[in-house]
């Protein structure tokens, strides 16, 4: 029953729209000041085709107008005049809630900043905040997977690295840039994996039953149940929010448990490794490696 529930959650996540969102806020310049939301922007993405299904953005007039700068150092920055006649958070709360609640949230540094601001904004008007089905924080994901190729993990740096233009620090523009940055990073990582030479500790990724080896080595490979490419995880997704924006998170915004079986298979595999090493230069086995690499993607 636990595995069925876990699988059901995975299927639901694979078909649930992903909402990339971003919030522009005031910047406190002295102790005791708080952040005020000035703009909210979001795009709803199809998880299978990565196409934009819906978009929404709005300026938001904060309760404390004195916290908004009368002039902005950025060419497209948000000023006091810009939000003077904007709707309040209470007026746009229904739309924001309907966009976010029960969906997968995605964005750059959202765990540490934007999620906290969402909770604060809804608490200010006495309403429950939306809750995500899962969360993808591109800052955490790219920090662990993409590394320092671009120099640092700032959105502006990553966008410049891929020639995507300058970050405008406006919500809707930034979320669209975020999606494009992720696409480019994913392509780079895909190519790195694709061109990584074999051999590598293959037995740690794919478990062969000894009964399937003869047919493999004789060039009669079949897609049988004796070959296990991945084990379904019994782990649950866990997401937590933090309040600091200064340093990248140390964990992914949404983590998946290690997708390998936890039972002890080393005794079985030691007998198989010798057969694998002897067969590694054979054409059928090389074809198997290529095929299985495509399956793992």
Question: H-type helices in the chain, by residue range?
Answer: 2-15, 80-83, 89-100, 115-124, 138-145, 155-161, 171-194, 213-217, 266-279, 283-296
User: Looking at residues 13-35, what average pLDDT do you find?
Assistant: 89
Predicted confidence at residue 194, as pLDDT, reads 78
**Which has the higher per-residue pLDDT, 40 or 152?**
40
Predicted confidence at residue 190, as pLDDT, reads 87
With a cut of 60, say whether residue 229 has pLDDT above it. no
Predicted confidence at residue 164, as pLDDT, reads 95
Q: Which residue has the tokens 């590394």?
A: 147
Instruction: Give the start-to-end residue ranges of the domains of the chain.
Output: 2-194
Predicted confidence at residue 9, as pLDDT, reads 54
User: Looking at residues 74-90, what average pLDDT do you find?
Assistant: 89
**CA-to-CA dists, residue 130 to 10, 110, 127, angstroms:** 21, 14, 9
Predicted confidence at residue 253, as pLDDT, reads 42
With a cut of 90, say whether residue 71 has pLDDT above it. no
Predicted confidence at residue 36, as pLDDT, reads 95
Predicted confidence at residue 38, as pLDDT, reads 96
* 169 among known catalytic residues: yes
User: Looking at residues 168-179, what average pLDDT do you find?
Assistant: 95
pLDDT digits (tens, 9 = 90+) for 104-149: 999 999 999 999 999 999 999 999 999 999 999 999 888 888 888 8
With a cut of 50, say whether residue 282 has pLDDT above it. no
Say if pTM beats, i.e. exceeds, 0.75: no
The CATH class that applies to domain 2-194 reads alpha beta
CB-neighbour burial class of residue 150 (10 A; exposed 0-12, middle 13-18, buried 19+):
buried
Predicted confidence at residue 3, as pLDDT, reads 52
Predicted confidence at residue 198, as pLDDT, reads 59
Predicted confidence at residue 112, as pLDDT, reads 95
**Which has the higher per-residue pLDDT, 151 or 73?**
151
Predicted confidence at residue 1, as pLDDT, reads 53
User: Looking at residues 43-50, what average pLDDT do you find?
Assistant: 94
User: Looking at residues 265-278, what average pLDDT do you find?
Assistant: 44
Nearest partner of 237 among 104, 117, 143, judged by Cα: 104
With a cut of 60, say whether residue 284 has pLDDT above it. no
Q: Characterise 128 by phi-psi region: left (phi > 0), alpha (psi -120 to 50), beta (else).
A: beta
Q: How many CB atoms lie within 10 A of CB 75?
A: 8
Nearest partner of 95 among 63, 60, 126, judged by Cα: 60
Question: Long-range contacts for 224-233 (Cβ within 8 Å, ≥24 apart)?
Answer: 228/261, 229/292, 229/295, 229/296, 230/259, 230/260, 230/296, 231/259, 231/260, 231/261, 232/3, 232/6, 232/7, 232/10, 232/259, 233/6, 233/257, 233/258, 233/259
Predicted confidence at residue 151, as pLDDT, reads 85
pLDDT band at 13 (very low <50, low <70, confident <90, very high): low
pLDDT band at 33 (very low <50, low <70, confident <90, very high): confident
Of 85, 108, 169, 184, the catalytic one is 169
């Amino acid at each position: 029953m636990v595995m069925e529930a876990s699988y059901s959650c995975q299927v639901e996540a694979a078909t649930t729209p992903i909402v990339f969102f971003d919030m522009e806020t005031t910047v406190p310049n002295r102790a005791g000041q708080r952040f005020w939301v000035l703009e909210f922007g979001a795009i709803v993405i199809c998880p299978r085709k990565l196409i934009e299904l819906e978009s929404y953005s709005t300026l938001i007039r904060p309760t404390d107008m004195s916290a908004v700068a009368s002039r902005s150092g950025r060419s497209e920055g948000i000023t006091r005049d810009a939000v003077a006649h904007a709707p309040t958070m209470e007026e746009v709360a229904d739309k924001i809630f309907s966009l976010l609640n029960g969906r997968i949230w995605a964005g750059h540094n959202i765990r540490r900043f934007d999620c906290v601001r969402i909770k604060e904004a809804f608490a200010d008007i006495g309403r429950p905040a939306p809750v995500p089905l899962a969360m993808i924080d591109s800052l955490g994901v790219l920090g662990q997977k993409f590394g320092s190729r671009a120099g640092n993990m700032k959105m502006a740096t990553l966008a410049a690295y891929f020639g995507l233009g300058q970050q405008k620090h406006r919500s809707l523009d930034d979320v669209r840039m975020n999606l494009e940055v992720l696409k480019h990073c994913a392509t780079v990582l895909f190519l790195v994996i694709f061109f990584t030479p074999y051999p590598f500790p293959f037995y740690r990724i794919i478990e062969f039953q000894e009964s399937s080896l003869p047919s493999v080595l004789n060039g009669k490979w079949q897609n049988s149940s004796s070959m296990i490419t991945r084990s379904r995880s019994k782990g649950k997704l866990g997401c937590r929010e933090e309040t600091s924006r200064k340093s990248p998170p140390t964990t992914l915004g949404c983590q998946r448990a290690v997708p390998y079986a936890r039972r002890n298979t080393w005794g079985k595999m030691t007998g198989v490794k010798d057969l694998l090493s002897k067969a590694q230069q054979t054409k059928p086995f090389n074809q198997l490696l290529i095929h299985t690499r495509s399956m793992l993607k």
